[in-house]
Structure 1
Amino acid sequence: MNIRHFIKQNRDDWKQLEQSISKLGKHKRNLTGKEIDQFSRLYQKAAQHLSYSQTYFPNEDVTGYLNELVAKAHNLLYKDQVSSFRQIRTFFSTTFIGLLLEQWKAVIVAMVLFTAGGLAAFLSVLDDPLHLYSLLPEQVAQSVNPEQLGANHDAIDASLMSASIMTNNIQVAFLAFAGGITFGLLTVYIMVSNGIMVGALAGLYWHHGSSYAFWAYIVPHGVIELMAIFIAGGAGLLMGYKLFAPGAYSRGFQLKRQAKRSVQLLLGTIPLFIIAGIIEGFITPASLSLEAKYAVAVLTLIAFVSYLASGKVLLRKNNAKAALHS
């Protein structure tokens, strides 16, 4: 059975299950025994379809769609209503990580775009430091002084700086995500332009022999910050790609589905931006040794990788439980 035939043959049952999920979620205690039996039957069929799709169409959109559908139905059938705190915990411990693992390729593409822009700008400024003025906004370029890196720590209002940085980074991430509606073109621009900014500055500090100090002021917050921006950028790129090549679905369906997933990914990056903002506001400008700043960067990277690894393990356990119930 090819994928088009598979979708055409079963989509009516999936649509019925979607409607039942919506009704059961709102009026769980008012359903009749017949309606509950029908819901259970539709859920079991969808679980079988998911198993088939995972075997024969593992990389197709329909598999991700069925995975979400079965998970929603399973939660309604086998779990009591959960508290807001538990919902938040579930989102950050499994849902967000699951979505991230599903679209890791788009995140890599966002990272490559950023890196390409950064490398091009780095080489350009390395060739002629005056190129900095053509690559960066005039106000930014004129404010850069490699000789004063890390100076005036005591003059910085750390709390104000942290709040300002968090706000700016979240705005960048939102634009990268929302850029998906332009078929990903705006997202590409944001990724490349942000890479150019970092690469141009890196080239200037390399030219002045201050690279070690420069990166010590970038990587403590940059590890988490850039990961969050890449995730938001990947969400925008994936949305743009699905609009450009919707596959077996309409563009309207893909926009609705991918927008929902991308919003969830964007929400998942907010704590990362908060952490990065706190580090950038309080630790980056602090009078610490450069080695201590690099140590903070390593710790944030280890913490982030550990978070993803633990979430992946928990996600596998939950999927195994769902398979047993089905």
Structure 2
Amino acid sequence: MAAALATFVTRRRPDWDALDALLTRQRAGALKLDELRQLDALYRRAAADLARAQTFYPDTDAHRFLNQLCGRAYAAIYQPPRERWPLVRAFFRRDFPRVLRRELRFVGASAALLCLGALLGALVVLWEPRGAELLVPAPVRQYIAQGRMWTDDILSVAPPNSVSSDIATNNLTVTILTFATGMLFGLGTLFILVNNGVHIGAIGALCIREGMGRGFLDFIAAHGPVELSIIVIAGGAGLMVGQALIDPGELPRGQALSLRGREAVKLVLGCAPFLAFIGAVEGYVSPGDLFPTWAKAGLGLSLGGVFWAYLLRAGRTDADETVVPADSAS
């Protein structure tokens, strides 16, 4: 037999008031994790009370109150999934460039390692001609010995769309490896950056030594600034991971790696669409002589300038510039 309505309301009213208060805090965005669990439990109890009221106390104020309360709780708990495009836009407008600005010291260290490798590779080839045999791939040396760029036949072998697709895939592989090998306490990232720099510097120096410096510039001018910037950013992400493993600070190593790794992944994900775009430039614009060198150089410098202007300015606010990285907070 059902209890009197007044008894039912008196016994259950504290839970209803608690649920109503949590819903008010939820709308204000002030709920904590334990309060979310409490909200779910109280909603389930209120739903059971609503079923009881529908059976024994229909068309009463208690029934109508519970119906409204459960409706609000249901809407709060079972919210429709957020649209993904606004999240993607927010990431590229705000999150990605802000993370990069916070981690500029790692990106700068990555750039220094790449430049160091390029300088070493160039010096070895310029000072010791036989150094090219160690640092420059044999097929590239054969083309240069014939006075031809190894890129001259790219478009005769495959159409531009296929070339750009292959280039984008290769660039993505290099980017991911540069980042992922940071798990080797940063040593893998360091090796890839220096090795890529040596490779670039050695080939450039060999081209200059053989009087083909303009051909080398002609090929790299359009895509080089952005492509090398992306490699440097991925290197910075890898160095962040390595630093978290070597010096986790006051946090356990696993927790430090998790916190820093999330920030590093944002840098790599942010580079992905730019990799696809610059792959298209490298496939359609860089090879061949359809575009003059000055036009390629102008395009490359413009793309590089726009890319870095975006990274250094997008989402900038006064609060953004005073954010303290998570791993340095006490």
| TM-score of the aligned structures, taking structure 1 as reference length | 0.71
Tell me which amino acid in the other structure corresponds to 2:238.
Answer: G
Alignment match, 1:101: 101
Of Structure 1 and Structure 2, the greater helix share is in: 1
Match of 2:310 among 307, 310, 317: 307
C-alpha contact (below 8 Å) 1:118/1:196 kept by paired residues: yes
After TM superposition, give the deviation of residue 83 of structure 1 in Å.
Answer: 2.0
Tell me which amino acid in the other structure corresponds to 2:120.
Answer: A
Matches within 5 A, 1:283-294: 283-286=285-288, 287-294=290-297
Matches within 5 A, 1:105-254: 105-142=105-142, 144-145=144-145, 147-149=147-149, 151-152=152-153, 155-156=156-157, 157-254=159-256
The separation in 2 between residues aligned to 1:153 and 1:136, in whole angstroms, is: 19
The separation in 2 between residues aligned to 1:166 and 1:279, in whole angstroms, is: 10
Q: Percent of pairs identical after alignment?
A: 30
Instruction: Give the direction of change, closer, same or farther, for the CA distance of 1:134–1:252 in structure 2 (3 Å limit).
Output: same
Tell me which amino acid in the other structure corresponds to 2:305.
Answer: I
C-alpha contact (below 8 Å) 1:224/1:275 kept by paired residues: no
After TM superposition, give the deviation of residue 310 of structure 1 in Å.
Answer: 3.9
Tell me which amino acid in the other structure corresponds to 2:299.
Answer: V
Secondary structure of 1:265's match? helix
The separation in 2 between residues aligned to 1:111 and 1:120, in whole angstroms, is: 14
| TM-score of the aligned structures, taking structure 2 as reference length | 0.70
- Aligned positions, number: 255
C-alpha contact (below 8 Å) 2:179/2:268 kept by paired residues: yes
The separation in 1 between residues aligned to 2:208 and 2:263, in whole angstroms, is: 40
The separation in 2 between residues aligned to 1:161 and 1:121, in whole angstroms, is: 27
The separation in 1 between residues aligned to 2:215 and 2:144, in whole angstroms, is: 14
Alignment match, 1:296: 299
The separation in 1 between residues aligned to 2:114 and 2:271, in whole angstroms, is: 18
Alignment match, 2:30: 40
Gaps of 5+ in 2: 1-18, 34-75, 322-330
Match of 1:259 among 249, 258, 261: 261
Instruction: Give the direction of change, closer, same or farther, for the CA distance of 1:210–1:36 in structure 2 (3 Å limit).
Output: farther
Deviates more, 1:121-130 or 1:132-141: 132-141
Secondary structure of 1:151's match? coil
C-alpha contact (below 8 Å) 1:146/1:210 kept by paired residues: no
After TM superposition, give the deviation of residue 153 of structure 1 in Å.
Answer: 6.5
The separation in 2 between residues aligned to 1:227 and 1:94, in whole angstroms, is: 19
Alignment match, 2:72: none
- Over aligned residues, Cα RMSD in angstroms? 2.8
Instruction: Give the direction of change, closer, same or farther, for the CA distance of 1:262–1:143 in structure 2 (3 Å limit).
Output: farther
The separation in 2 between residues aligned to 1:183 and 1:108, in whole angstroms, is: 18
The separation in 1 between residues aligned to 2:224 and 2:99, in whole angstroms, is: 23
Secondary structure of 1:129's match? coil
C-alpha contact (below 8 Å) 2:98/2:320 kept by paired residues: no
After TM superposition, give the deviation of residue 214 of structure 1 in Å.
Answer: 1.1
The separation in 2 between residues aligned to 1:155 and 1:256, in whole angstroms, is: 47
The separation in 1 between residues aligned to 2:31 and 2:152, in whole angstroms, is: 68
Q: Could you give the per-residue CA deviations for residues 262-303 of structure 1, whole angstroms, max 9, x where no partner exists?
A: 111111111121121011000001421111111111211222
Secondary structure of 1:148's match? coil
The separation in 2 between residues aligned to 1:235 and 1:117, in whole angstroms, is: 18
The separation in 2 between residues aligned to 1:171 and 1:153, in whole angstroms, is: 20
The separation in 1 between residues aligned to 2:96 and 2:109, in whole angstroms, is: 19
Match of 2:274 among 272, 275, 295: 272
The separation in 2 between residues aligned to 1:198 and 1:319, in whole angstroms, is: 36
Alignment match, 1:26: none
C-alpha contact (below 8 Å) 1:129/1:207 kept by paired residues: no
Q: Could you give the per-residue CA deviations for residues 224-247 of structure 1, whole angstroms, max 9, x where no partner exists?
A: 111111111000001101110111
After TM superposition, give the deviation of residue 199 of structure 1 in Å.
Answer: 0.3
Q: Could you give the per-residue CA deviations for residues 111-165 of structure 1, whole angstroms, max 9, x where no partner exists?
A: 1111111101101111133211212344554454571126346514211111111
Alignment match, 2:14: none
